[in-house]
Structure 1
Amino acid sequence: MYIDLINIYNKLSEIYIIPDGWWPGENKFEIMIGALLTQNTNWNNVEKSLKNIKSQNLLSPEKLYYLNIEKLEELIKPSGFYKVKAKYLKNLLEWFKIYNFSFELLSKKNVKILRKELLSVKGIGNETADSILLYSLNKLSFVIDAYTIRMFSRFGIEIKKNYIVYKNFFEKNLPEDLIIYKNFHGLIVEHSKNICKKKPLCDMCVFRLKCKKFHNNKNNIDFM
Protein backbone atom coordinates (compact mmCIF):
# COMPACT_ATOMS: atom_id res chain seq x y z
CA MET A 1 0.00 0.00 0.00
CA TYR A 2 1.23 3.46 -0.92
CA ILE A 3 -0.23 6.68 0.43
CA ASP A 4 0.96 9.94 -1.11
CA LEU A 5 0.70 12.38 1.78
CA ILE A 6 1.48 15.42 -0.36
CA ASN A 7 -1.33 14.51 -2.74
CA ILE A 8 -3.72 14.32 0.22
CA TYR A 9 -2.35 17.61 1.56
CA ASN A 10 -2.85 19.32 -1.81
CA LYS A 11 -6.42 18.06 -2.15
CA LEU A 12 -7.31 19.20 1.35
CA SER A 13 -5.73 22.60 0.59
CA GLU A 14 -8.11 22.97 -2.34
CA ILE A 15 -11.13 22.33 -0.12
CA TYR A 16 -10.35 24.24 3.07
CA ILE A 17 -9.14 27.80 3.33
CA ILE A 18 -6.96 28.15 6.41
CA PRO A 19 -4.38 30.79 7.36
CA ASP A 20 -0.75 29.75 6.98
CA GLY A 21 0.32 28.30 10.28
CA TRP A 22 -3.31 27.46 11.17
CA TRP A 23 -3.02 27.58 14.98
CA PRO A 24 -4.64 30.78 16.34
CA GLY A 25 -2.68 33.02 18.66
CA GLU A 26 -1.32 36.54 18.84
CA ASN A 27 2.14 35.44 19.98
CA LYS A 28 4.27 32.42 20.80
CA PHE A 29 3.37 32.40 24.47
CA GLU A 30 -0.36 32.44 23.80
CA ILE A 31 0.12 29.47 21.47
CA MET A 32 2.21 27.67 24.07
CA ILE A 33 -0.36 27.88 26.85
CA GLY A 34 -3.22 27.30 24.43
CA ALA A 35 -1.64 23.97 23.49
CA LEU A 36 -1.91 22.90 27.12
CA LEU A 37 -5.35 24.35 27.82
CA THR A 38 -6.90 22.58 24.83
CA GLN A 39 -6.37 19.17 26.43
CA ASN A 40 -9.74 17.38 26.71
CA THR A 41 -11.80 20.37 25.65
CA ASN A 42 -12.82 22.32 22.56
CA TRP A 43 -11.13 25.46 21.32
CA ASN A 44 -14.05 27.75 22.19
CA ASN A 45 -13.46 27.01 25.86
CA VAL A 46 -9.74 27.69 25.47
CA GLU A 47 -10.51 31.05 23.89
CA LYS A 48 -12.63 31.98 26.92
CA SER A 49 -9.74 31.17 29.24
CA LEU A 50 -7.29 33.13 27.11
CA LYS A 51 -9.70 36.06 27.04
CA ASN A 52 -9.83 35.98 30.84
CA ILE A 53 -6.04 36.03 31.05
CA LYS A 54 -5.79 38.91 28.59
CA SER A 55 -8.49 40.90 30.36
CA GLN A 56 -6.28 40.92 33.47
CA ASN A 57 -3.20 41.86 31.42
CA LEU A 58 -1.54 38.60 32.47
CA LEU A 59 -0.55 37.13 29.13
CA SER A 60 3.15 36.87 29.85
CA PRO A 61 5.18 33.97 31.24
CA GLU A 62 6.56 36.05 34.10
CA LYS A 63 3.15 37.27 35.26
CA LEU A 64 1.55 33.83 35.11
CA TYR A 65 4.56 32.27 36.81
CA TYR A 66 4.20 34.54 39.86
CA LEU A 67 0.39 34.52 39.85
CA ASN A 68 -1.07 32.56 42.74
CA ILE A 69 -2.55 29.27 41.63
CA GLU A 70 -6.06 29.99 42.95
CA LYS A 71 -6.28 33.05 40.70
CA LEU A 72 -4.94 31.05 37.77
CA GLU A 73 -7.57 28.37 38.37
CA GLU A 74 -10.27 31.02 38.25
CA LEU A 75 -8.99 32.44 34.96
CA ILE A 76 -8.74 29.11 33.14
CA LYS A 77 -11.93 27.60 34.55
CA PRO A 78 -13.73 27.65 31.14
CA SER A 79 -11.16 25.14 29.81
CA GLY A 80 -12.33 22.46 32.23
CA PHE A 81 -10.20 20.38 34.63
CA TYR A 82 -9.00 23.79 35.75
CA LYS A 83 -7.35 22.71 39.00
CA VAL A 84 -5.25 20.08 37.22
CA LYS A 85 -4.51 22.34 34.26
CA ALA A 86 -3.40 25.15 36.57
CA LYS A 87 -0.83 22.81 38.09
CA TYR A 88 0.28 21.63 34.65
CA LEU A 89 0.59 25.21 33.47
CA LYS A 90 2.72 26.05 36.49
CA ASN A 91 4.89 23.02 35.67
CA LEU A 92 5.31 24.25 32.10
CA LEU A 93 6.23 27.73 33.32
CA GLU A 94 8.75 26.24 35.73
CA TRP A 95 10.44 24.56 32.76
CA PHE A 96 10.27 27.75 30.68
CA LYS A 97 11.89 29.69 33.53
CA ILE A 98 15.04 27.58 33.04
CA TYR A 99 15.36 29.44 29.74
CA ASN A 100 14.63 32.82 31.38
CA PHE A 101 11.25 32.80 29.62
CA SER A 102 13.17 33.43 26.38
CA PHE A 103 11.85 32.10 23.10
CA GLU A 104 15.16 33.13 21.55
CA LEU A 105 17.00 30.69 23.81
CA LEU A 106 14.50 27.95 23.00
CA SER A 107 14.97 28.57 19.28
CA LYS A 108 18.65 27.64 19.61
CA LYS A 109 17.94 24.24 21.14
CA ASN A 110 17.73 20.99 19.21
CA VAL A 111 14.16 19.82 18.66
CA LYS A 112 14.82 16.33 20.04
CA ILE A 113 16.30 17.76 23.23
CA LEU A 114 13.38 20.15 23.66
CA ARG A 115 10.87 17.38 23.05
CA LYS A 116 12.50 15.18 25.66
CA GLU A 117 12.47 18.05 28.15
CA LEU A 118 8.83 18.88 27.49
CA LEU A 119 7.78 15.26 27.92
CA SER A 120 9.49 15.25 31.31
CA VAL A 121 7.15 18.03 32.46
CA LYS A 122 4.18 16.57 34.33
CA GLY A 123 1.04 17.25 32.31
CA ILE A 124 2.77 17.42 28.93
CA GLY A 125 2.15 14.44 26.67
CA ASN A 126 3.11 13.73 23.07
CA GLU A 127 0.42 15.82 21.40
CA THR A 128 0.88 18.85 23.66
CA ALA A 129 4.67 18.69 23.34
CA ASP A 130 4.54 18.52 19.55
CA SER A 131 1.94 21.30 19.38
CA ILE A 132 4.23 23.56 21.41
CA LEU A 133 7.27 22.61 19.36
CA LEU A 134 5.62 23.08 15.98
CA TYR A 135 3.28 26.02 16.46
CA SER A 136 4.93 27.99 19.25
CA LEU A 137 8.62 27.25 18.73
CA ASN A 138 8.61 26.67 14.96
CA LYS A 139 10.35 23.32 15.26
CA LEU A 140 9.78 20.46 12.81
CA SER A 141 7.79 18.07 14.97
CA PHE A 142 4.59 16.77 13.37
CA VAL A 143 1.49 16.70 15.57
CA ILE A 144 -0.62 13.56 15.72
CA ASP A 145 -4.06 13.52 17.28
CA ALA A 146 -7.12 11.29 17.41
CA TYR A 147 -8.41 12.87 14.19
CA THR A 148 -5.24 11.91 12.32
CA ILE A 149 -5.32 8.30 13.45
CA ARG A 150 -9.04 7.96 12.74
CA MET A 151 -8.83 9.48 9.27
CA PHE A 152 -5.76 7.61 8.08
CA SER A 153 -6.76 4.27 9.56
CA ARG A 154 -9.92 4.60 7.47
CA PHE A 155 -7.76 5.16 4.44
CA GLY A 156 -6.23 1.77 5.12
CA ILE A 157 -2.83 2.79 6.42
CA GLU A 158 -1.34 -0.43 7.72
CA ILE A 159 0.59 0.75 10.75
CA LYS A 160 -0.02 0.40 14.45
CA LYS A 161 -2.46 2.91 15.94
CA ASN A 162 0.24 4.44 18.07
CA TYR A 163 1.27 8.09 18.41
CA ILE A 164 4.98 7.65 17.72
CA VAL A 165 4.43 5.19 14.87
CA TYR A 166 2.12 7.67 13.14
CA LYS A 167 4.45 10.58 13.86
CA ASN A 168 7.40 8.74 12.33
CA PHE A 169 5.31 7.81 9.28
CA PHE A 170 4.34 11.42 8.59
CA GLU A 171 7.81 12.83 9.22
CA LYS A 172 9.39 10.19 6.99
CA ASN A 173 7.00 10.87 4.11
CA LEU A 174 6.69 14.65 4.22
CA PRO A 175 9.20 17.30 3.14
CA GLU A 176 10.81 19.15 6.03
CA ASP A 177 8.69 22.24 5.65
CA LEU A 178 7.18 24.15 8.60
CA ILE A 179 4.16 25.42 6.69
CA ILE A 180 3.32 21.95 5.39
CA TYR A 181 3.67 20.48 8.87
CA LYS A 182 1.51 23.20 10.42
CA ASN A 183 -1.14 23.39 7.73
CA PHE A 184 -1.43 19.64 7.14
CA HIS A 185 -2.30 19.02 10.76
CA GLY A 186 -4.83 21.85 10.59
CA LEU A 187 -6.35 20.51 7.38
CA ILE A 188 -6.72 17.05 8.90
CA VAL A 189 -8.56 18.61 11.84
CA GLU A 190 -10.86 20.56 9.51
CA HIS A 191 -11.66 17.51 7.37
CA SER A 192 -12.24 15.35 10.43
CA LYS A 193 -14.65 17.85 11.94
CA ASN A 194 -16.57 18.41 8.71
CA ILE A 195 -16.49 15.11 6.80
CA CYS A 196 -14.45 12.32 8.38
CA LYS A 197 -16.44 12.43 11.62
CA LYS A 198 -17.13 9.60 14.05
CA LYS A 199 -20.08 8.94 11.75
CA PRO A 200 -18.35 9.89 8.50
CA LEU A 201 -20.07 11.63 5.59
CA CYS A 202 -18.36 9.35 3.09
CA ASP A 203 -20.58 10.33 0.15
CA MET A 204 -19.29 13.90 0.47
CA CYS A 205 -15.61 12.97 0.83
CA VAL A 206 -13.14 13.74 -1.94
CA PHE A 207 -11.21 10.59 -0.95
CA ARG A 208 -14.19 8.22 -0.95
CA LEU A 209 -13.15 6.22 -4.01
CA LYS A 210 -9.82 5.42 -2.40
CA CYS A 211 -10.99 5.00 1.17
CA LYS A 212 -11.08 1.63 2.90
CA LYS A 213 -13.98 2.81 5.06
CA PHE A 214 -15.98 3.55 1.92
CA HIS A 215 -14.91 0.36 0.13
CA ASN A 216 -14.48 -2.23 2.85
CA ASN A 217 -14.03 -4.96 0.27
CA LYS A 218 -10.97 -3.30 -1.33
CA ASN A 219 -7.60 -4.68 -0.33
CA ASN A 220 -5.21 -2.54 -2.36
CA ILE A 221 -5.57 1.17 -1.74
CA ASP A 222 -3.29 3.47 -3.68
CA PHE A 223 -3.27 7.26 -3.36
CA MET A 224 -1.44 8.12 -6.56
Structure 2
Amino acid sequence: MNSAVALNEIYDRLLAHFGPQHWWPGDSPFEIMVGAVLTQNTNWQNVEKAIANLKAAGRLNPAQLAALPTEELAELIRPAGYHNLKAARLKNLLALIKEQGGVETLLSQPTMTLRELLLGVKGIGPETADSIVLYAAGRPVFVVDAYTHRIFSRHGLISEDCDYFQMQDVFMTHLEEDAALFNEYHALIIRVGKEFCKKSKQDCKNCPLIGLNCLH
Protein backbone atom coordinates (compact mmCIF):
# COMPACT_ATOMS: atom_id res chain seq x y z
CA MET A 1 0.00 0.00 0.00
CA ASN A 2 1.60 3.30 -1.08
CA SER A 3 1.47 6.46 1.00
CA ALA A 4 -1.34 8.17 -0.93
CA VAL A 5 -3.56 5.10 -0.77
CA ALA A 6 -2.75 4.54 2.90
CA LEU A 7 -3.48 8.14 3.88
CA ASN A 8 -6.82 8.12 2.10
CA GLU A 9 -7.72 4.74 3.59
CA ILE A 10 -7.01 6.06 7.07
CA TYR A 11 -9.06 9.18 6.45
CA ASP A 12 -12.01 7.19 5.10
CA ARG A 13 -11.96 4.82 8.08
CA LEU A 14 -11.77 7.62 10.63
CA LEU A 15 -14.50 9.67 9.00
CA ALA A 16 -16.79 6.64 8.74
CA HIS A 17 -16.19 5.81 12.41
CA PHE A 18 -16.33 9.27 14.02
CA GLY A 19 -18.19 11.42 11.50
CA PRO A 20 -17.40 15.12 10.86
CA GLN A 21 -15.69 16.84 13.79
CA HIS A 22 -16.67 20.48 13.08
CA TRP A 23 -13.25 21.69 14.16
CA TRP A 24 -11.91 24.33 14.99
CA PRO A 25 -14.57 25.71 17.38
CA GLY A 26 -14.61 29.49 17.45
CA ASP A 27 -16.97 32.36 16.70
CA SER A 28 -14.41 34.37 14.72
CA PRO A 29 -10.96 34.06 13.14
CA PHE A 30 -9.55 36.05 16.05
CA GLU A 31 -11.03 33.66 18.60
CA ILE A 32 -9.44 30.78 16.68
CA MET A 33 -6.08 32.56 16.76
CA VAL A 34 -6.33 33.06 20.51
CA GLY A 35 -7.35 29.44 20.96
CA ALA A 36 -4.38 28.24 18.94
CA VAL A 37 -2.02 29.95 21.39
CA LEU A 38 -3.94 28.89 24.49
CA THR A 39 -4.09 25.22 23.50
CA GLN A 40 -0.31 24.84 23.66
CA ASN A 41 0.50 22.13 26.24
CA THR A 42 -3.06 21.77 27.53
CA ASN A 43 -6.39 20.22 26.61
CA TRP A 44 -9.26 21.97 24.88
CA GLN A 45 -11.53 21.90 27.93
CA ASN A 46 -9.08 24.21 29.73
CA VAL A 47 -8.90 26.48 26.69
CA GLU A 48 -12.69 26.75 26.62
CA LYS A 49 -12.67 27.95 30.23
CA ALA A 50 -10.04 30.59 29.45
CA ILE A 51 -11.93 31.81 26.38
CA ALA A 52 -15.15 31.92 28.37
CA ASN A 53 -13.37 34.17 30.89
CA LEU A 54 -12.24 36.51 28.10
CA LYS A 55 -15.76 36.67 26.68
CA ALA A 56 -17.33 37.28 30.08
CA ALA A 57 -14.89 40.14 30.64
CA GLY A 58 -15.70 41.60 27.21
CA ARG A 59 -12.08 41.28 26.15
CA LEU A 60 -12.15 38.86 23.25
CA ASN A 61 -11.20 41.30 20.52
CA PRO A 62 -7.80 42.67 19.49
CA ALA A 63 -8.27 46.21 20.78
CA GLN A 64 -9.54 45.15 24.21
CA LEU A 65 -6.86 42.50 24.68
CA ALA A 66 -4.13 44.88 23.59
CA ALA A 67 -5.32 47.45 26.15
CA LEU A 68 -5.42 44.88 28.95
CA PRO A 69 -2.34 44.76 31.22
CA THR A 70 -0.43 41.51 30.77
CA GLU A 71 -0.97 40.57 34.42
CA GLU A 72 -4.76 40.88 34.08
CA LEU A 73 -4.73 38.94 30.85
CA ALA A 74 -2.75 36.19 32.56
CA GLU A 75 -5.37 35.90 35.29
CA LEU A 76 -8.21 35.62 32.78
CA ILE A 77 -6.49 32.81 30.89
CA ARG A 78 -5.23 31.00 34.01
CA PRO A 79 -7.36 27.87 33.29
CA ALA A 80 -5.31 27.23 30.12
CA GLY A 81 -2.12 26.74 32.15
CA TYR A 82 1.24 28.48 31.77
CA HIS A 83 -0.87 31.62 31.99
CA ASN A 84 1.97 34.12 32.35
CA LEU A 85 3.84 32.65 29.39
CA LYS A 86 0.74 32.47 27.22
CA ALA A 87 -0.27 36.03 28.12
CA ALA A 88 3.10 37.21 26.84
CA ARG A 89 2.67 35.16 23.67
CA LEU A 90 -0.78 36.60 23.06
CA LYS A 91 0.63 40.09 23.48
CA ASN A 92 3.28 39.25 20.88
CA LEU A 93 0.58 38.04 18.49
CA LEU A 94 -1.46 41.19 19.13
CA ALA A 95 1.57 43.28 18.23
CA LEU A 96 1.78 41.51 14.86
CA ILE A 97 -1.93 42.03 14.25
CA LYS A 98 -1.57 45.74 14.94
CA GLU A 99 1.56 45.99 12.81
CA GLN A 100 -0.26 44.36 9.88
CA GLY A 101 -3.33 46.59 10.17
CA GLY A 102 -5.77 44.16 11.78
CA VAL A 103 -6.81 40.53 11.77
CA GLU A 104 -8.44 40.61 8.34
CA THR A 105 -5.41 42.23 6.71
CA LEU A 106 -3.02 39.80 8.37
CA LEU A 107 -5.03 36.73 7.38
CA SER A 108 -5.36 37.98 3.79
CA GLN A 109 -1.60 37.72 3.24
CA PRO A 110 -0.37 35.02 0.83
CA THR A 111 -0.17 31.68 2.60
CA MET A 112 3.59 31.41 2.92
CA THR A 113 3.92 35.10 3.83
CA LEU A 114 1.31 34.66 6.56
CA ARG A 115 3.08 31.57 7.84
CA GLU A 116 6.45 33.34 7.99
CA LEU A 117 4.92 36.33 9.77
CA LEU A 118 3.42 34.06 12.41
CA LEU A 119 6.62 32.08 12.84
CA GLY A 120 8.38 35.37 13.47
CA VAL A 121 6.27 35.91 16.60
CA LYS A 122 8.04 34.86 19.78
CA GLY A 123 6.23 31.88 21.28
CA ILE A 124 4.55 30.74 18.06
CA GLY A 125 6.02 27.58 16.57
CA PRO A 126 5.10 25.60 13.46
CA GLU A 127 2.06 23.82 14.92
CA THR A 128 0.48 27.01 16.29
CA ALA A 129 1.28 28.96 13.13
CA ASP A 130 -0.16 26.27 10.88
CA SER A 131 -3.28 25.99 13.06
CA ILE A 132 -3.88 29.69 12.49
CA VAL A 133 -3.16 29.42 8.77
CA LEU A 134 -5.50 26.44 8.33
CA TYR A 135 -8.31 27.16 10.76
CA ALA A 136 -8.41 30.96 10.94
CA ALA A 137 -7.31 31.79 7.38
CA GLY A 138 -8.73 28.67 5.70
CA ARG A 139 -5.55 27.87 3.78
CA PRO A 140 -4.52 24.31 2.78
CA VAL A 141 -1.62 23.76 5.17
CA PHE A 142 -1.64 20.45 7.04
CA VAL A 143 -1.23 20.69 10.82
CA VAL A 144 0.66 17.87 12.52
CA ASP A 145 1.11 17.25 16.23
CA ALA A 146 2.07 14.64 18.80
CA TYR A 147 -0.99 12.57 17.92
CA THR A 148 0.07 12.53 14.26
CA HIS A 149 3.55 11.31 15.14
CA ARG A 150 2.29 8.63 17.49
CA ILE A 151 -0.38 7.20 15.19
CA PHE A 152 1.46 7.31 11.90
CA SER A 153 4.78 6.07 13.24
CA ARG A 154 3.00 3.14 14.88
CA HIS A 155 1.48 2.31 11.52
CA GLY A 156 4.83 2.63 9.74
CA LEU A 157 3.92 5.60 7.55
CA ILE A 158 6.52 7.91 9.09
CA SER A 159 9.74 7.18 10.95
CA GLU A 160 10.08 7.52 14.72
CA ASP A 161 12.70 10.26 14.37
CA CYS A 162 11.05 12.44 11.70
CA ASP A 163 10.53 16.10 12.54
CA TYR A 164 7.52 18.37 12.13
CA PHE A 165 8.28 19.38 8.56
CA GLN A 166 9.03 15.84 7.41
CA MET A 167 5.70 14.67 8.84
CA GLN A 168 3.88 17.57 7.26
CA ASP A 169 5.47 16.86 3.89
CA VAL A 170 4.04 13.32 3.88
CA PHE A 171 0.51 14.72 4.03
CA MET A 172 1.08 17.72 1.78
CA THR A 173 2.69 15.55 -0.90
CA HIS A 174 0.22 12.67 -0.96
CA LEU A 175 -3.14 14.33 -0.30
CA GLU A 176 -5.22 16.68 -2.41
CA GLU A 177 -4.43 20.28 -1.46
CA ASP A 178 -7.73 21.14 0.17
CA ALA A 179 -8.25 23.12 3.36
CA ALA A 180 -11.51 21.37 4.27
CA LEU A 181 -9.84 17.97 3.91
CA PHE A 182 -6.83 19.02 5.97
CA ASN A 183 -9.13 20.49 8.62
CA GLU A 184 -11.21 17.34 8.97
CA TYR A 185 -8.23 14.99 8.80
CA HIS A 186 -6.34 16.74 11.59
CA ALA A 187 -9.43 16.74 13.81
CA LEU A 188 -9.97 13.02 13.18
CA ILE A 189 -6.34 12.25 14.04
CA ILE A 190 -6.79 13.98 17.38
CA ARG A 191 -9.99 12.03 18.03
CA VAL A 192 -8.49 8.59 17.36
CA GLY A 193 -5.38 9.54 19.33
CA LYS A 194 -7.42 10.47 22.38
CA GLU A 195 -9.78 7.52 22.28
CA PHE A 196 -7.77 4.60 20.92
CA CYS A 197 -4.12 5.26 20.08
CA LYS A 198 -3.13 6.61 23.47
CA LYS A 199 0.43 7.24 24.54
CA SER A 200 0.74 4.38 27.02
CA LYS A 201 -2.52 2.44 26.76
CA GLN A 202 -3.63 1.53 23.25
CA ASP A 203 -6.99 0.02 22.37
CA CYS A 204 -5.93 -1.56 19.09
CA LYS A 205 -8.66 -4.21 19.17
CA ASN A 206 -11.47 -1.65 18.86
CA CYS A 207 -9.58 1.00 16.87
CA PRO A 208 -11.04 1.88 13.45
CA LEU A 209 -7.51 1.52 12.05
CA ILE A 210 -7.11 -2.10 13.11
CA GLY A 211 -5.24 -4.11 10.50
CA LEU A 212 -3.47 -1.09 9.01
CA ASN A 213 -0.11 -1.88 10.57
CA CYS A 214 2.08 -2.44 7.53
CA LEU A 215 2.03 0.89 5.72
CA HIS A 216 4.99 1.96 3.59
TM-score in terms of structure 2 length: 0.93
Cα distance, 1:139–1:57 mapped onto 2, change above 3 Å = same
Summarize deviations over 1:88-137 as a string: whole Å, max 9, x none. Answer: 0000000111222231x234311111111111110000110000110011
Q: Which residue of 2 aligns with 1:133?
A: 133
On the 8 A contact 1:106/1:137 being kept in 2, the answer is no
- Other-structure match for 2:35: 34
In structure 1, the residue matched to 2:152 is 152
1:222 is displaced (CA, Å) by 4.4
Provide Cα deviations, 1:65-103, integer angstroms capped at 9, x if missing partner.
111111101100111111111100000000111222231
Alpha-carbon contact 1:62-1:101 (below 8 Å) kept: no
| Secondary structure of the corresponding residue to residue 205 of structure 2 | helix
The corresponding residue for 1:11 is 13
Secondary structure of the corresponding residue to residue 141 of structure 1: coil
Q: Report how far residue 54 of structure 1 moved.
A: 0.2
Aligned length: 212
**Aligned partner of residue 203 in structure 1, secondary structure:** coil
8 Å Cα contact 2:36/2:128 also seen in 1? yes
Tell me the alpha carbon deviations over residues 145-201 of structure 1, each in whole angstroms, 9 at most, x when there is no partner: 000000000011244421000011111111111110000000000001011111210
**C-alpha contact 2:107 2:136 (8 A) present in aligned 1:** no
1:201 corresponds to:
203
State how 1:201-220 maps to structure 2 within 5 Å.
201-211=203-213
| RMSD between superposed Cα atoms in Å | 1.4
Which ranges of structure 1 fall in alignment gaps of 5 or more residues? 212-220
Cα separation, partners in 2 of 1:24 and 1:109, compared to 1, 3 Å: same
Q: Which runs of 5+ in 2 are unaligned?
A: none
Letter in 2 for 1:200: Q
Q: How far, CA to CA, are the matches of 2:164 and 2:141 in structure 1? A: 12
Corresponding residue of 1:59 = 60
Relative to structure 2, which stretch is displaced further, 86-95 or 105-114?
A: 105-114
From the superposition, tell whether residues 41 and 55 of structure 1 become closer, same or farther in structure 2 (CA, over 3 Å). same
